[in-house]
Amino acid sequence: MNDCGYDTYWISNQGRKGKWNTLVSAVAGDATDARHMGDVGSSGYDEVLLDEVEKMLKLSGDRKAFVIHINGSHFDYKSKYPKTFLALPKGPPTSRGSIATSYSNSILYTDWFLSEVFAMFKKERLLFVYTADHGEVVTEAVYGHSMSPGYKDEYDIPLVIWSSKTTRLEKLHTEIESKLINGAMFYELLRYVVGMDSEITINYDTSVIEVAPSSVVDYNELEYFEKPTN
């Protein structure tokens, strides 16, 4: 996006340094303006990023690209949304249990957060992309990710792409509708949807990394921790 002439902004609710943060922060360092709310004693809730996005939107320039890096739904799930945001009742005594209920609440909170971000840009020509870096196993006994052996739950991730200019997305949708694609192609996918590349090669490879890059397994050979009910 820098090469395309955009002012680029990275707003993160995670820290700048640490075992899992330093490499990501190195990428963020290429942005025109990078801010890490995790370094300034924020509440921990992703909504703290909304004010920062609004401030950056008001800066001069009509070509802006934002990377908004949220905390999302890592365990402890109930710590990822404020107590006032209880879209689902606490569990037990719910039938799904406390872990699953807290996780679902964290997902609903992320959905609300994304809707707030989207609303900020409703008057703009917009390309909106949302994805995650991993999924989670969510049961009362076992929860989290980076398990060995791995489970399909850890590799199923959302991908949302919305654009006020739909031609490229219509073609992409035709290519990948109802198919599994590999998240390793995310960079190439972005280059295509922003117009840097005229064509895209879809990655349907089912190879995935299990915990470490040295361990590659076939997604199709993995099982769900618990068989989905729908």
What pLDDT, in 10s, does the model give residues 29-60? 999 999 998 776 555 899 999 999 999 999 98
pTM for the model stands at 0.88
What pLDDT, in 10s, does the model give residues 152-179? 999 999 999 998 877 788 888 888 888 8
Tell me the mean pLDDT in the region 206-215. Answer: 93
Nearest to 216 by CA among 206, 226, 204: 206
CA atoms of 92 and 15, how far apart (whole Å): 33
At 183, give phi and psi (nearest 5°): -60, -15
What pLDDT, in 10s, does the model give residues 68-99? 999 999 889 989 998 877 665 554 444 446 89
